[in-house]
Structure 1
Amino acid sequence: MTNHLLSFDDVVCGYGDTEILHGVSGGVAAGRILGVFGRNGVGKTTLSRVLVGEIPVLTGGIKLNGKPIEKTVTYARRRRGIGYMPQVGMVFDNLTVRENLSLSNATSSLEPYFETFPRLAERLDQLAGSMSGGERKILSFVRTMLEETEVTILDEPSEGVQPENIVNMQNCIRAKQEQGHAFILVEQNLSMLMALADTYVGLEAGQGVFEADKSECNRDDLLKILSV
């Protein structure tokens, strides 16, 4: 049985009286990448938010390093090792690029990321809100990657990003994965999913309808879930 770093078991949650996830399960081990996919509105972002503590679990459980965290508040989950790049609201528009990056409290060097994404280095004193959507995504991605965490949840990181920078993102993720970091990659971009994910969970109408190892499926299998 896989020794998951972060796991979620039969999670039910939603917003107010509206239940969005109806018993979703999955997990990711250290040095592995779980790809979560599905069409718009099936509950992918809701899963991300419940894992980081932004919305409560109604029933089911979430564990980090084998210990329950479903009652742990968001900032405490971050301190315990969960990083998060949200799909929207990913940067502080009224802060500069430099100030946004400083929020990660990183001890590692920024230089490798500046070499990969040179536009960031050129715009350190520019307000994040004046950047394009794709540039803000990259800024959020780099800030999240700098955080000292064990597992990172990336919600639609490729959305609005130019193809060459998606490849650069993939290279950054692989490099950190090789150091033992775990990722939950929430994506609709099949090329990115297939390039990175070791295992998959497919969602439809708030339920897990597909679960497989990379070796057990192909692109057509994933496309069936996206075209339901």
Structure 2
Amino acid sequence: MTGGYFEIQNISGGYGSGRVVRDVSISIGRGEVVCLLGRNGVGKSTLAKLSCGFLRPMSGGVRLAGVEITGKRPSENLTQGLTYCPQERVVFDDLTVAENLSLMRTDRRLDEFEPYFRAFPRLSERRGQHAGTLSGGEKKLLSFVRGLSEGSAMAIIDEPTEGVQFENVVRMAELMLAQKEAGASFLVVEQNLTLVDRVADRIVIMDHGEIVLSAAASELDRRQILAHLTV
């Protein structure tokens, strides 16, 4: 599969000698949001890690803007314009909210985060608190804001809405769509169809480490999607 801004090409891999993902290809265009769905344990998060450098593929490769990035470290990929927001260990608990947001920046001022603070006032109220004192949903919001604020041309976001209240899910969608309109691309691993309905241009569904369905979001109804998400 070729022609996309971000291309996962026949990726296989997993942990140690265990193969979790099998020959998966996904192509994402500029300004496109692809939502990756599937039941728990089918390989979605593993694919995300293989795609951004946290795991090395057994075979296949990844290209960003036509440049091969397979095997590069996540920090290298970030400098090339690829952001990754993980499902687990999403924040540094011993740092404050403000420190989590500004950690990798030379300027520790938070002025540029004001639009995010307006969207998520709880983060603004808690900017001086240690991130470890936040609820699970608040940690997800913090990770999401940190990721979007990097302004990368491509972002892989794993389960961003886990534990997040409905109204904040809607705001997350609005922020993603604003960046999409500016040309940013997203691969979103998600179970929450509230977010998927609002942002997805295309839906890819995995099962047993393989893609079992890939189609434009407009071509699928909820029953078709749910049929793949339930046992």
Fold equivalence (TM over 0.5) = yes
Q: 1:167 to 1:48 in 2, by over 3 A?
A: same
Q: 1:114 to 1:163 in 2, by over 3 A?
A: same
Q: Which residue of 1 aligns with 2:218?
A: 215
Distance 1:22 1:155 in 2: 19
Q: Which residue of 2 aligns with 1:30?
A: 30
Q: Which residue of 1 aligns with 2:205?
A: 202
Query: Given residue 115 of structure 1, which amino acid in structure 2 is its aligned partner?
Result: R
- The offset of 1:106, in angstroms, is 8.6
Contact 2:12-2:21 within 8 A present in 1 as well = yes
Contact 1:85-1:153 within 8 A present in 2 as well = yes
- The offset of 1:148, in angstroms, is 3.0
Residue pairs, 1:135-146, within 5 angstroms: 135-146=138-149
Q: 1:33 to 1:217 in 2, by over 3 A?
A: same
Segments of 4+ moved more than 3 angstroms:
none
Q: Secondary structure at the match of 1:89?
A: coil
Distance 1:177 1:220 in 2: 27
Distance 1:96 1:117 in 2: 16
- The offset of 1:73, in angstroms, is 2.0
Q: 1:182 to 1:104 in 2, by over 3 A?
A: farther
- The offset of 1:221, in angstroms, is 1.4
The range that moved more, 40-49 or 72-81, is 72-81
Q: Indicate yes or no: 2:129 matched with 1:126.
A: yes
- Determine what percentage of the aligned residue pairs are the same residue: 42
**Aligned mate of 1:170, from 169, 173, 177:** 173
| Structure 1: runs of 5+ lacking an equivalent | none
Distance 1:6 1:12 in 2: 17
The range that moved more, 71-80 or 53-62, is 71-80
Distance 2:211 2:217 in 1: 17
Contact 1:34-1:198 within 8 A present in 2 as well = yes
Residue pairs, 1:39-78, within 5 angstroms: 39-78=39-78
Q: Which residue of 2 aligns with 1:91?
A: 91
Distance 2:219 2:71 in 1: 35
Contact 2:169-2:194 within 8 A present in 1 as well = no
TM-align CA RMSD: 1.6
Q: Secondary structure at the match of 2:40?
A: coil
Contact 1:103-1:143 within 8 A present in 2 as well = no
Distance 1:104 1:156 in 2: 23
Contact 1:104-1:147 within 8 A present in 2 as well = no
Distance 2:74 2:159 in 1: 20
Once the two structures are superposed, residues 68-121 of structure 1 have per-residue CA deviations (whole angstroms, 9 ceiling, x without a partner) of: 211322211111010011111000000000100102539871111111111111
Query: Given residue 101 of structure 1, which amino acid in structure 2 is its aligned partner?
Result: L
Contact 1:44-1:186 within 8 A present in 2 as well = yes
Query: Given residue 46 of structure 2, which amino acid in structure 1 is its aligned partner?
Result: T
Distance 1:101 1:164 in 2: 22
Q: Secondary structure at the match of 1:110?
A: helix
Distance 2:120 2:70 in 1: 36
**Aligned mate of 1:160, from 124, 141, 163:** 163
Contact 1:31-1:180 within 8 A present in 2 as well = yes
Q: Secondary structure at the match of 2:223?
A: helix
User: What is the TM-score with the length of structure 2 in the denominator?
Assistant: 0.94
Matched residue count: 228
Query: Given residue 122 of structure 2, which amino acid in structure 1 is its aligned partner?
Result: R
